[in-house]
Structure 1
Amino acid sequence: MRIFILYIFLYIFVFQGTAQISDFSHISFEKADEIALKYKDETLHNLPDLVYKLTSQLDTDAERFRAIFKWICSNVSNNYGLYERNKRNRQRYKDNPARLKAWNSKFQKIVFKRLLKNRSTICTGYAYLVKELANLADIECEMIHGYGRTSTINLKTLDSPNHSWNVVKLDGKWYLCDPTWASGNPNPESNQFQFDFNEGFFLSDPKIFAINHHPIIKKWFLLEGETPSFDDFMDAPIIYNKAYAYFSGHTYPQKMHNAIQRNQNINFTLQLQKEVAEKDVNLVIESSFRERKIYPKEVSIKDNSLSIDYKFEFTGFYDVHLYIKEDLIATYTVEVTR
C-alpha cells in the first residue's frame, strides 16, 4: 500500500513538473489542423458558433485546444503599426500616470476593434482571443502578462511589461503557449506580416520558454525549483523563434555577453527535442573586420544534448550566431582578451 501511494505521489509530481507537447505524443493533431484550415474564412462576430465549428468533431481537450490555437494563429495577423504606436505612447506617458491610464483604456478599445473588424491585433488581442475561445469550449485558459525579449527589442527601454501569452489546463496540468509568436513573422523585405505557423510555441517546454518570456507572476514559469530572476532574463542570450522547433532548453552560455582568453574554448550547449545532424550545425562569426561561416570540428550530440566547443585564436569582440542549416537559433557576443 505504501509503495502504491509513493508511486501515485511520484507520478503526480513528475506529471505536473514536465508540461510540454511530448505529453501528447500519442495524439495526432492532423484532424484538428484540418478543421482549423477548413474554417479559415470565418469571422469573429459569433464566437460560440466559431468554437462549435472548430471543436464539435474532436474527442479530446488537447485536440479541441489545438484547433482553436491553430485557427487563431492562421487567421489573425500581427499588427506591427499598432504595436509601435502603443510602445511610443507608453514611453511618452510613462512619467504621467493619469495620461498613461487614459491611453491604456483608449488603446484597449482600439485593439479589440481592429481584432473584430480586420482580424488584426497585437499580443494582448491574441492572448485574449485564445482565452475566450478556449473558455467557450470549457477549457481552462488564462492570459499571462510579462516581458518578452526578442532581437528587435531595445533592452534599455524594457522597463514595463511588454508582452502577453497564455497558459492552458489540459488533463489537469498547465501548459504554456504563445499565439503571437506562433503566428508568423515580418517579411524581411517588406516588413509586412506573413503567416508562418511555429509548432514550438504550442505547449512549449518551460525551460526554453523562460529564456525569452518572464511572467509577472512567478508561478506561471511552470518550472521546477528556482525561477530565473529578471536580471537573468535580461542577461540571457537572444533565442530566436526557430530555436523552438529544435530545442527544449538552453544550458550554456547562460549570458548574452561572454569574456574569454585567447585560445580558450567557449562551449554552447542546448537540449534537443528532435534529431539534428552534426553536419548541419554552423556558426556565423562577425567582427569589425569580417564575417565568416564555419562548421565547428568539436560538435557532439549525446543524450538529447547538443554541445559545441569553439576556440578563438585572436583577440577582439565577436558576434556569434548559432545556426541549424539556415535557421538562426541564438546569438551571443564574445570578448576575447590576451
Structure 2
Amino acid sequence: MRIDLMSAALACCLAFFYITNLRAQTADFAGIDFTKADSIAQLYPGHSLQDLNLLSDKLTRSLTTEEEKFRAIYKWVCLNIDNDYRLFKKNQHKRKKLRNDPDELRKWNQKVSGEVFRTLVSKHRTVCTGYAYLIKALADFAGLPCEVIHGYGRTAQSNIGGEGIANHSWNAIRLHNNWYLCDATWSSGAIDTEKGMFVRAYNNSYFLPDPALFIRNHYPADTAWTLLAVKPTLGEFLNRPLIYSSIFQYKIDQLYPETFTITASKGETVSFQFTKNSTDQIQKVQLIINGSGPYSVYPPFQQTEEGLHRIDHVFTSKGTYIVHILLDNKYAFTYTVVINSP
C-alpha cells in the first residue's frame, strides 16, 4: 500500500487532537534495552519510501512494546535520511524574506512542500518538515499516535533574540497514553556550515528527552506541546542562553543568568551557574572567549551552598565577548558578555 506524503501532511494539518498527559520524560524508559530495535533499524539501509506501510511493518512486526517499535522507526529515519542543505538554505532565505507577508509566505510554503516530499522519496534527502511527516506516517502505520509539531528551533544561526522566526518541525509521539517529544532532524546529524554539507552522525539527545530540556531549543507554535505545566514565553525562549546537546547528557535544566546577554563591569567577577541532575561527573571546564581575538581559560569548577555548579571569570578589558562554556570538551552553552567601565 502506497502513501501520498503530501496528503498525509495536509491531513495532519487538519487534525484536531487533545493532549492526554503532560508528564513525559526520558526517565520513563531509562531501563529499556533498545538493542533489538536498533539492530532491526539497520537491516533495511536505503529502503524505498514508495510503500511506507511495508517499511513500517518490517521495522516493527517482531517487536512487542510501543517504545521499541517507535525506536526502530526513529532510528531508521535518522540513519537513512539526509538533511538537504541546499533546500534548507533556500527555504530559510525565502522564509526570512517573506516573514512579514503572510499570504506570500503561505504560497511559498505550499510550493516548497512539493519539492520537500519529492526529494525525500526519490533521493532520501529532506528538511525538517520531511523528517517529521515521515516519522508520523511510519508511526501511524504501526498504530502509534504521532503528531507533527511546528515552531521555533534555536541554533547559533537562528532565533537568537529578536521576534523569532518559525523555522522548524519535530514530533510528539504517544506511548502508553503519555506524550513524548523527539526531533529526528537533529538526531540524524549536523550541517557543516563551513563545507556546506550534511554530516550524518546519530545523536540520541533528541529521542524522547525531558521536556524541560527540550524547551531550551524547541518552542512550539502551539504551546500546549511544550508538555510543561509552566511554560516560558516566546520572548524568554529567544533570549535565553544558547545551549547545545551536551546539556542533555548532564541533564542541565536551570541556567543562571537566564539571559543570553550579560552586562558587567571591568574587574567584576562574572558567574555562570547551573543545576546538574545527572550522576555523570564533569572532569574539565573550559571557557572559549571571543573578543578582539579568541582565547581559552580553564577555571575551577565550584559548587555553591545552594547546590548550583558555578564557573567564575573576571574580564579585565572593556568590550563585548562571546563566551562558549565547554564541559569535558563538549560545547554546553553560550553567552554574550558586555563589559563596561566600573
Pairing 1:258–2:262 present: yes
What secondary structure sits across from 2:110 in the alignment? Answer: helix
Report sequence identity in percent.
37
What secondary structure sits across from 1:129 in the alignment? Answer: helix
CA–CA distance in structure 2, aligned partners of residues 182 and 303 of structure 1: 34
Pick the aligned partner of 2:71 from 66, 73, 91: 66
Pairing 1:329–2:320 present: no
Pick the aligned partner of 1:146 from 123, 137, 151: 151
Q: Which residue of 1 aligns with 2:311?
A: 308
Contact 1:86 1:107 in 2 (8 A): yes
CA–CA distance in structure 2, aligned partners of residues 36 and 110 of structure 1: 26
Pick the aligned partner of 1:267 from 231, 254, 271: 271
Q: Deviations over 1:214-268 (max 9, x none)?
A: 111111111122x111111111111123333333413212111001233433332
Contact 2:287 2:297 in 1 (8 A): yes
Pairing 1:291–2:309 present: no
Contact 1:281 1:325 in 2 (8 A): yes
- Cα deviation, residue 96, structure 1: 4.6
Q: TM-score, normalised by structure 2?
A: 0.86
Pairing 1:246–2:239 present: no
What secondary structure sits across from 1:200 in the alignment? Answer: helix
Stretches of structure 2 lacking an aligned partner (at least 5 in a row): 1-19
What secondary structure sits across from 2:322 in the alignment? Answer: strand
Q: Deviations over 1:244-296 (max 9, x none)?
A: 333341321211100123343333233435444443221112221x3221221
- Cα deviation, residue 208, structure 1: 1.8
CA–CA distance in structure 1, aligned partners of residues 193 and 172 of structure 2: 30
Aligned residue pair count: 322
Residues 24 and 302 of structure 1, relative CA distance in 2, 3 Å threshold: farther
CA–CA distance in structure 1, aligned partners of residues 288 and 82 of structure 2: 31
Pick the aligned partner of 2:195 from 165, 190, 193: 190
Pick the aligned partner of 2:169 from 164, 173, 177: 164
Q: Deviations over 1:129-159 (max 9, x none)?
A: 1111111111111111111111012657865
Q: Deviations over 1:190-211 (max 9, x none)?
A: 2211111111100111112112
- Cα deviation, residue 104, structure 1: 1.9
Pick the aligned partner of 1:48 from 47, 53, 61: 53
* Partner amino acid, structure 2, of 1:118: K
* Partner amino acid, structure 2, of 1:113: R
- Cα deviation, residue 95, structure 1: 4.9
Written as runs of structure 1 = structure 2, the 5 A alignment for 1:45-124 is 45-124=50-129
Stretches of structure 1 lacking an aligned partner (at least 5 in a row): 1-14
Single out whichever of 88-97 and 144-153 deviates more from structure 2.
88-97
Pairwise CA RMSD of aligned residues?
2.4
